[in-house]
Structures are given as C-alpha cells and as structure tokens.
Structure 1
Amino acid sequence: MARGSQGGGGGGEEENYCGSCEMTKQHATWCARRLPKRIILVRHGQSLGNLDTSAYATTADSRIPLTDLGVEQARAAGRRILDVVSGTSADGDGDADPDDWKVYFYVSPYERTRATLRGIGAAFPRRRVVGAREECRVREQDFGNFQVEDRMRALKETRDRFGRFFFRFPQGESAADVFDRVASFMESLWRDINHGRLVQSTTSEINLVIVSHGITTRIFMMKWFKWTVEQFERLRNMENCEFRVMQLGPGGEYSLLGHHTEEELEAWGLSPEMIADQQRRASADRPSECSSFTATFFDDWTDPPEEDDNGKKPRTSRSSNPGQLAPPLGLLEFLLL
C-alpha cells in the first residue's frame, strides 16, 4: 500500500510502505509477512529444585514445581511484561498502540514453566491473548533422569574441564543437543510467522513470549544472533523470572538494545563485539544478509593484490627504493607473469 506525504501543492514525494508491516520501502522489498514486534524470552520462577537440589534425586525434573516465591515471581513478571508490550513501561519504547496489540505464548512442557505461564498470563486480559502452545523443543536440558547430588557434582566438574557446550550428560543431553532442537523450533516458528498463524489481523501488533529455562533461552539467542560457542559460554544465566526482550528495529532486525541498555548487556556477559552487533541490528535500515563475527576466526588477515581486467595481478616493484626503477625481469620471471 502507499501513503503520500502532504506537500503544499500536491507535489510532495510519495513514500511506499510495506503492506505487511508498514515499514519503509526498503523494508518492503523483502518483507512478506507481519513480523512480531517483540520476542520475549522468560526463565521460569524459583522452583523446588532451585531451592533444594536434592529434589532432583527423587522427583523427575519435568515434575519439579514452583515454590511460593516462584509463583509470586511469575505474577510480578507478568505485570512487567504487560507494561512492556502495552508501551506503558518506564524503560519501554512507548510507541505501542494501547488498543492494537496482542500476545502469543510458547511454553516448555515442564511443570515449573507451565506454572510460570499461569502466573504471567494472569496479568493479561483474555482479549489480548491470541493463543498459547506447549512446545517440547524449548524444554530444559536433559541431565539424565534422576540426579543424585554427589554424582551430578562430579559430572559438572568434568563438564567444566571438557567444555560446557559439548559435554553430554550420561543418559542426557549436551548444550549442543539443545541447540539442535532449538534450531528446529525456530524453523517452525518462522513457518508460523510466514503463514500468519500468530496474528488475527494485519493491524495487530503481535508479541511472542517464550517461557522456558535458563540454558534454553541463552541458546535461543545464540542461534538467533549467530553467536559462537565461545561467545555463548561468556553468558551468565538468567535469574528466576528474568526476561530478555528482542525488539524489532526499523530495518527488520531484532536487537536486545531495542529495550535493554548496553550496561545490562555487558552485565549479562556480552562482549564489546557482541554489543556492537546489537547496536547495528537496532539501527539498521534493512536486514543484513548474514551477520557474522569474521574477525573471530582469522589473524593477520590481509587482502591479496587485486587482479586487472585480464585476470592478472599487477606487477609490483622489486626495488626497495620507490624512486629507483626495478631491475629487468629474467626469462623465468617473465614466463611466470
């Protein structure tokens, strides 16, 4: 669709907007769907296992309940998230239409995350909730059935020596395994977005809230922002019912800096390079084709001499004195040109 700027004599330039998300013309060249305004990642409230790790030895991890404090944390988180998506929070962007926003929930199947969702959902009027879906792929890392304290302590010490991302718990998972299923979930998430399954109208501002676990939320961000294993291992875990807001920028990129501050990102363990990437994403006027951290992989990287129109590299002077002519080429040197 198009909207014209109001010029004095009707001669104002017309600016084209994307019919799906009403962003600028640059955005319209690639956007064919209504993107969520925010993707909010929430860790569950305090659980019995957080309070007493011996609970894991007798109760299945998936059945560990919230404590009374965890229930209160979930309700408080719901009120804070409501403020963010409705545009009324002091640190929010303040540009949300108070009459035109919706929320859609994904939740891990574990008891503590489902209970956290119930607490969060209590803050939202029914008409604001588009839907909620249990998603097994955002569950907790599997640490191997019942977890005996002494054995788990020894395994975690081994994990620290082996590498936190690649160490696989016996009868359980590694963080790399979690990465694979989170990547699969993201593919499904994009299909839901592309097919318009999360929105009720083209005018509604949709917000996704994913209620999950500490490591799963960090891996979600790792996959989304293309962080390396080394960068992932810098990150600190989220506190109970802490959340991260990934907010859509003007060019179709999501960034943590749309809502949070650079100081917060630094406290969470993001390196200066990672923060700079978040800045770029927040201010970009179009999506990047492929975000990367190239300098991470190469040392002393220099460009080779460029080739001329005939595919030959330019001849360089063999003289150390710029004002002195290079000596004539020998036959072998000439043939190698």
Structure 2
Amino acid sequence: MAVTELILVRHGESIGNVAREEAESSGALSIPMPMRDADVPLSEVGVEQARAVGRWLAADQDRLPDTVWSSPYLRARQTAQAALAELANPPAIRQDERIRDRELGVLDLLTKRGVGSQFPAEAERRRWLGKFYYRPPGGESWADLVLRIRAFLADLERGPQRGRQLIVSHDAVILLFRYVCEQLDEDSVFEIARSGSVTNASISRLVRDDAEPGWRTAVYNDDQHLEAYGARATEHPGEIDAAR
C-alpha cells in the first residue's frame, strides 16, 4: 500500500473570506473583490495560521509529509509555502488544479441576497436540485468536485508517491475527500456539513493500513494547533450555503 495518510489542510484566512463576511453582514448584493478568485491572497491572520500549521508539522516526525500538494489558487499556495518554511528540510510543493476551489460561474462574487435578487430562477433551481447536484451556469456542482477528487486520487495510487501526503486545498474539497474516501452518500456528507464549515488552516487526517485497507477519518476539522502556536482561529464558510 503506497499512500497511507492524507493530511488535508484548508488554506488560511484570505482577504476574500473577510470581504465575503463583511458583504453578507451588511446586506450587500455583491462582494467587492478586484481580482479573480485564483489570485486572492491570504490575510495577515491567514499567514499566521499557515505558520502555525507548519509549527504543528515540525513538532512531530510522524507528521512530516512525504509529498506536498497544493491547489494552484494563491491562498492555498501561500498557505503551503508559509507552513513548509517552518520545516528544516521541506519537500517541494506540487500543484494540481483538480484540488482547486469550486467554480461558481455566474454566481461568483454574489452574496446570498445577491443571488436571490439577480438570479431568482437559479436560487429556485438550487433549492429544487439540492446542493450536491446543482451546477450554476458556468460553474460546478459538488458532484463535479467529486469527479476531480476521484481522478486526483486515482493518479496518486498509480504514481510513485508513498506514505504521508499533505494536501492544501479548500473547504468543500476537503469535505468531499471524505465523501470519496469513506464512500459516503449524499445524506451522510450533508450531515457532516451541517455540523459546521471547515475552518481556516484546520487539519483533517484520513488514514489506512494493511489491516484495514479502507480509508477512515482519524481527525476532522481540528484547529487546536492554531491557538497552541500563536494564531487565531477563524471560521469563514467558503460558500454561502455549504449545508443543504
């Protein structure tokens, strides 16, 4: 068995996370963001969170990754870079577009109120189809993310990688790694989603061994390391309605 552990880390707080929260709380229709989603950087808090992840990794040899993967989006790459800077001999970061954030298409940069105001038919279609299968025009559904994750994991299994893989990605992607690896169904994954969003710079661990070849979740959405290593925890749902 080549790959035995997946350490899944959500990127640190981004300036987009902060802007979305402010727009939602103020009742705005859209989120003021003068850059494409792929180019949104970390906030100062997000950088400290990423460093805390690195300090957590460095504190125990049994946490050090054999390979590091990152979404190509800037906030994820910056998280991986800041975390690995805390290690004595960090591995190279490999980017893979299949673990990028969900594409929202025409709904990008709209608040929940904005979607209802500008695309009421889409809001209704979303309610009818449900979160898992609803695909906004020009965007992706959660089922589309699942297909990306399945392809990524299949290549991981066929490739030369061994041991512990660190994957820096986005909240919905991390949740859907559980869906794929644990062979969950739609109801089960939304039960997890309703318990709370994946917090910034949180750590989830999926493990397997020869005795139990199937994946199991050892840790999910844990952010205790942030306070322990001098960073503040933040919860910014990456999507306005992550739970069905």
| TM-score normalised according to structure 2 size | 0.74
Deviation at 1:56, TM superposition (A): 5.9
SS of 2:6's equivalent in the other structure is strand
Distance 1:181 1:117, change over 3 A: same
2:137 matched to 1:137? no
* 2:182–2:214 contact (8 Å) kept in structure 1: no
Pairing partner for 2:181 from 219, 224, 232: 224
Partner of 1:171 in structure 2?
A: 138
Partner of 1:198 in structure 2?
A: 161
Partner of 2:78 in structure 1?
A: 115
2:12 matched to 1:45? yes
* 1:164–1:233 contact (8 Å) kept in structure 2: no
**4+ runs of 1 displaced by more than 6 Å?**
none
SS of 2:188's equivalent in the other structure is helix
1:225-282 Cα offsets, whole Å, 9 max, x none, are 110011111123210000111123351343223xx39xx8xxxxxxxxxxxxxxxxxx
In 1, Cα distance between equivalents of 2:189 and 2:180: 10
Partner of 2:51 in structure 1?
A: 75
SS of 2:165's equivalent in the other structure is strand
Partner of 1:125 in structure 2?
A: 88
Rg larger in 1 or in 2?
A: 1
Which residue identity is paired with 1:221? R
Deviation at 1:81, TM superposition (A): 2.8
In 1, Cα distance between equivalents of 2:148 and 2:48: 30
Q: CA RMSD in A?
A: 2.4
Percent of residue pairs identical:
26
SS of 1:51's equivalent in the other structure is helix
Distance 1:37 1:176, change over 3 A: closer
Distance 1:169 1:62, change over 3 A: same
Which residue identity is paired with 1:198? Q
Q: Say how many residue pairs are matched.
A: 202
In 2, Cα distance between equivalents of 1:160 and 1:240: 27
Distance 1:36 1:223, change over 3 A: same
1 or 2, which has the higher helix percentage? 2
Pairing partner for 1:255 from 216, 234, 240: 216
Partner of 1:148 in structure 2?
A: 110
Which residue identity is paired with 2:104? F
In 1, Cα distance between equivalents of 2:110 and 2:31: 9
Ranges in structure 1 where 5+ consecutive residues have no aligned partner = 1-32, 89-100, 200-205, 265-337
Which residue identity is paired with 2:34? T
Deviation at 1:160, TM superposition (A): 4.3
Ranges in structure 2 where 5+ consecutive residues have no aligned partner = 21-29, 223-244
Comparing 160-169 with 109-118, greater Cα deviation is found at 160-169
1:172-203 Cα offsets, whole Å, 9 max, x none, are 111111111111111111111xxxx225xxxx
| TM-score normalised according to structure 1 size | 0.55
Which residue identity is paired with 2:187? E
In 2, Cα distance between equivalents of 1:243 and 1:152: 31
